[in-house]
Amino acid sequence: MASSRKSPGFVQRYVLPALLLFALPLFGLWFSGHASDRFDAQVLAVIEKQIGLDAELSAEDRQEALAFYRAVSASAACLSDGEELARYRENLGSACSDVKQFGWARLGSWVLLALGVASTVVALLCGLAAFISRPFQYGSFLVGWLVLRVTSALQVLGQGVLAVWLSYWVTALWTQRYYPKLIGAMAVIAAIAIFLVVVAIFRRPPMDFDVEAEEVPEERAPELWACVRRLCERLQTSPPDHILAGIDTNFFVTEHEVRVDGRVLTGRTLFVSLSLLRLLERSEAEAVLAHEMGHLLGGDTGHSKRLAPMLAHFGHYLQTLYEGGVTRPVFYFMAAYRGLFELSLGRSRRASELAADRLAAGVTSGQDIARSLVKVGAYASFRDRVEAKLFAQDEQHQSVAIAQRVAHGFSEYAQSEAVHDDLHRAVTPHPFDSHPPLGARMENVGVHLKPADMAQVLLEPVASSWVEAFVDAEAIESRLWGVYEERFSQAHDLALAYRYEPSTEEERQHVEKHFPPLTFEGKAAGHEVRLDYAQVSCSEWEQPIEFDRITSASTADRMFKKYLDLQVTGEGRFKGRRSICLSKLKDPEGALEAVGRYLGRHRFMKEHRSKSEAA
């Protein structure tokens, strides 16, 4: 039964987690005030006791002294420079240094909160400005990225220092003890997080855009090149510098640098799908090509090229914040800004798609646009179904033959009810743009096709396609499908190694091909750790422990040595915790990675088996 639970909205997904940015400063603000109040109460209690025991004071002097000390708190005296409180400060002595720390912590917390509010204002203004127009979108994101990466780095620095301070004072105040290891660990974590964030600000991530395709120079498809130039002339835009032919389920045009077979192509690049060209009449394919050229005319590709480096840099920065641990609250805040910007980006991209459709309809026809959309959407959906079904099977494939399965089964799929459900939800796949739903795109060009009309479109034989214009289309397809299907087969083989229990000799051999028995030698003779797909053993143990009995695994440092602790269930002496001293091994990191990978395989296998039994 399909789940009826709705996906979280923008508020639940972004806004509420972003509020965690204020959690630590608010706690720091409260705790510093709490510590000052507690200090004042303790000092006042001591002073009241001393005044009460001072026999030299008259009743009037005693009341006057009590009134003074009750009116002026010890923390206020410590933080004051007035001469009238100098004697009070002298009496407090070194205790004032603690009070000054509370004051600095309170001030730091206020600064962090103010910085958070200012960052929120900047994020909202830049995020909302991105909805105005494309120039505003680029400019607002540029300003937002430049400002927020600095304020977020300051938040990481400030909250890191505050966290280290709290790691001492929280325990010291509430338990009358402090823990050097806790303070040291927090300091190291904060320092690493600050370092990683600073590095991420200045490190530019790679912008490689790899495409599995073959470049088609004009001599290999002169008629197609002439058609593209003719369309560009009618649209009054410059033609592409390169045409790539592949087997993906989309067409696209880009001005990004494209890497193909180790070569980097610059300028305007058009990608055409040979698989889809076979399905499209020439006029329908021309409508698709005109749509892509419309993106060039509308400046969509240039806008994408300008934004892409900043988006990639922002994404890398977000990943660093997420992996930093203590930087997670800052990550949620920055992710909220990115989410707000993505709303504007999706809106403008959908508008660009509709505009490109209208341009294409103007130089071809609305019918050709609509028919091509139906065919592309149906082919992409059916191919996804074929690949998903193949990958879900728990048997090895002698030959995946995806291309043949799609070609032979498409007609039957086109006559089924499934195609209408798929087309109703269809959003044309694309590496750069966010496409509107199929219905909205057809309505945009003034065409309405009923389900029966769509089925008829899919079943009509193709009279003439642009694949015929290629000198060697079959050879290109054969090479690309061979590479794709081999990679698919390898991924499926690895997936089977995760799914098998194994329950047969053949399955055991398949699992051991990917998870062979391993031995990690110790630094001392005779010490070793062994593991296979089912169990792990250590020379210090009396017998192996099956992965099925391990409930959790974690690392710990004890007596300057690193251990892998395994929580074990079951009966007998091996119930409880068993440990592997990683420091005694020649390759401790390799052993830790291997145990985690083999244990992960076992848990995935159990989960897969339980789902299969429940299905």
Chain segment 500-557, per-residue pLDDT in tens? 999 999 999 999 999 999 999 999 888 999 999 999 999 999 889 999 999 999 998 8
Question: Does 48 have pLDDT greater than 80?
Answer: no
* Percent share of the chain, pLDDT over 90: 66
Lowest mean pLDDT among 90-94, 116-120, 122-126, 542-546: 90-94
Mean pLDDT for 141-159 is 94
Following CA atoms 447, 240, 312, 381 in sequence, which dihedral angle do they give, to the nearest 10 degrees? 40
56: left (phi over 0), alpha (psi -120 to 50) or beta: alpha
**6 pLDDT tier (thresholds 50, 70, 90):** very low
Mean pLDDT for 88-105 is 66
Mean pLDDT for 393-406 is 91
Contact criterion met (CB below 8 Å) for 500 and 559: no
For residue 148, the model assigns a pLDDT of 95
DSSP at 210:
B
Mean pLDDT for 146-164 is 94
Mean pLDDT for 349-370 is 93
The per-residue pLDDT for range 598-613, each reduced to its tens digit, is: 999 999 999 999 988 8
Mean pLDDT for 469-480 is 94
For residue 85, the model assigns a pLDDT of 46
**147 vs 89: which has the higher pLDDT:** 147
Lowest mean pLDDT among 48-57, 318-327, 544-553: 48-57
260: tokens are: 């193909």
Mean pLDDT for 7-23 is 86
Following CA atoms 104, 106, 110, 116 in sequence, which dihedral angle do they give, to the nearest 10 degrees? 90
Mean pLDDT for 326-346 is 92
For residue 63, the model assigns a pLDDT of 73
Mean pLDDT for 428-444 is 71
Cis peptide before 502 (omega within 30 of 0): yes
Contact criterion met (CB below 8 Å) for 311 and 410: no
Question: Does 560 have pLDDT greater than 80?
Answer: yes
468: tokens are: 């015929």
Mean pLDDT for 201-220 is 89
Across the chain, mean pLDDT equals: 87
**55 pLDDT tier (thresholds 50, 70, 90):** low
Report helix, strand or coil for 504: coil
**469 vs 4: which has the higher pLDDT:** 469
For residue 203, the model assigns a pLDDT of 86
**Cα–Cα distance, 54 to 56 (Å, whole number):** 6
Question: Does 45 have pLDDT greater than 80?
Answer: no
For residue 76, the model assigns a pLDDT of 58
Half-sphere exposure of 348 (CA within 13 A, CB side): 23
**Cα–Cα distance, 596 to 592 (Å, whole number):** 6
Report helix, strand or coil for 15: helix
**101 vs 127: which has the higher pLDDT:** 127
Cβ-in-10-Å burial (0-12, 13-18, 19+) of 370 comes to: buried
Mean pLDDT for 293-313 is 89
Q: What is the DSSP string of 383-452?
A: HHHHHHHHHH-SS--S---HHHHHHHHHHHHHTSSHHHHHHHH-----SS--PPPHHHHHHHTT----HH
Mean pLDDT for 4-29 is 84
**3 pLDDT tier (thresholds 50, 70, 90):** very low
Question: Does 580 have pLDDT greater than 50?
Answer: yes
Question: Does 86 have pLDDT greater than 50?
Answer: no
Question: Does 329 have pLDDT greater than 60?
Answer: yes
Cα 593 from chain centroid?
22
For residue 59, the model assigns a pLDDT of 73
**Cα–Cα distance, 415 to 423 (Å, whole number):** 13
